Amino acid sequence: MNVSCIVNGQAVSVADVRPAESLLDVLRERLALTGAKNACEQGECGSCSVYLDGVLVCSCLVLAGQAQGASITTIEGLASDGELDPVQRAFVRCGAIQCGFCTPGLLLATHDLLGKTPDPDEDEIREALAGNLCRCTGYQKIIDAVRSAARVVADTAAH
Ligand code: FES
Ligand code: FES
């Protein structure tokens, strides 16, 4: 089957998609968008997160055919006009990245959280990121980065 969709603002069409092929595989293997990572393929780690029509999903659990006609944003689409998103800058600033494998998923989960809850407390941050596993950082710097990003977003909105 052919799948046509919008990925990071660009219309794409992928031919000969197998019925069981995941959206994650299409993004990584067909479209060379390797920011979404393949770790568990069971919806457990969040490393494959992408927005599908504005909803954060584990792309390993989405059949590529379900993306027909949809709009998808991957981590490659988070920056705009060559400028990192405030969430990306906060992760860098706070040292919230070590190996980086979990980082794309955490960035999108943080972006999603701040879109819904601009000033989250620690419990809300931990709950929002509970589906994203990190084997390196111990999470504290990630939480610091989320708070830092929230402050920047709030300051920007106030000016
Ligand atoms: S690879 Fe999709 S949730 Fe882990
Ligand atoms: S930075 Fe290595 S898994 Fe999170």
Q: What residues line ligand 2, using a CB cutoff of 6 Å?
A: 97-102, 134-137
pLDDT band at 158; cut points 50, 70, 90: confident
Q: Closest ligand 1 atom, CA of 43?
A: 3
Summarised one tens digit per residue, pLDDT across range 125-152 is 999 999 999 999 999 999 999 999 999 9
For the chain, domains (ranges, CATH) are 3-77 (3.10.20.30), 86-158 (1.10.150.120)
Q: Report the percent of the chain where pLDDT is more than 70.
A: 100
To test the pocket of ligand 1, the residue of 58, 62, 132, 135 to mutate (highest count of ligand atoms within 8 Å of its CB) is 58
Summarised one tens digit per residue, pLDDT across range 44-77 is 999 999 999 999 999 999 999 999 999 999 999 9
Q: Which residues contact 155 (CB under 8 A, 6 or more apart)?
A: none
- State the pLDDT at residue 159: 79
Cβ–ligand 1 contact at 43 (below 6 Å)? yes
- State the pLDDT at residue 156: 84
Q: Whole-number mean pLDDT of the chain?
A: 96
Q: Closest ligand 1 atom, CA of 24?
A: 2
For residues 129 and 113, is the Cβ–Cβ distance under 8 A? yes
CA of 102 relative to ligand 2 center, distance in Å: 5
Q: What is the pTM assigned to this prediction?
A: 0.96
Distance CA 12, CA 5 (A): 6
For residues 6 and 47, is the Cβ–Cβ distance under 8 A? no
pLDDT exceeds cutoff 90 at 116: yes
Long-range contacts of 78-87 (CB under 8 A, 24+ apart): 78/107, 78/108, 78/111, 85/111, 86/149, 86/152, 86/153, 86/156, 87/111, 87/114, 87/145, 87/146, 87/149
pLDDT band at 154; cut points 50, 70, 90: confident
